[in-house]
Structure 1
């Protein structure tokens, strides 16, 4: 399965609201769901981490296997992982 990456998946994108944001590189306002540009830098997200596991029967909720807590804490695939010290890219 191929995942389409948009501006909202870029580390250079700063959201203003749910539909648009500012590109840190160009300083332009861009729509969040439009196609990525040539300067795309993938934003670390739980869906792109080796430690993320989806809850059986769903694709929108899961847990982090790197969590030291029991039970493992909930995570969702689109959660930004920029501050996670246990993020491991796929």
Structure 2
């Protein structure tokens, strides 16, 4: 698996589009900074087997019929069809 950025981990809480708080350390971090190894990946559409990318940021969810528009960074914690890809 590729190294995660903070914005893709469960321990990150966004303050704005550029920075947030790392819950493990309580420190302010940049969203796109590389997270240390061992951080858990957040369930997002881009990490689901049902997500079909159409460009760098947008795609569709193929789990439902009919399919619907989705974006890769959409958080999928409550999605019943989320199936992680490794």
TM range (shorter): 0.7 to 0.9
Provide the TM-score with structure 1 as the length reference: 0.82
Question: Equivalent residue for 1:53?
Answer: 52
- Provide structure 1 residue ranges, at least 5 long, that are not aligned to the other structure: none
Distance, in Å, in 2 between the alignment partners of 1:82 and 1:12 is 14
Provide the TM-score with structure 2 as the length reference: 0.85
Question: Equivalent residue for 1:42?
Answer: 41
- Provide structure 2 residue ranges, at least 5 long, that are not aligned to the other structure: none
Structural RMSD (CA): 1.7
Moved over 2 A (4+): 2-5
Structure 1 or 2, whichever has the larger Rg, is: 1
Aligned length: 85
Shift of 1:4: 5.1
Shift of 1:15: 0.2
Distance, in Å, in 2 between the alignment partners of 1:59 and 1:32 is 18
Contact (CA 8 Å) 2:3, 2:37: kept in 1 or not? no
**2:48 is the counterpart of 1:64:** no
Question: Equivalent residue for 1:87?
Answer: 82
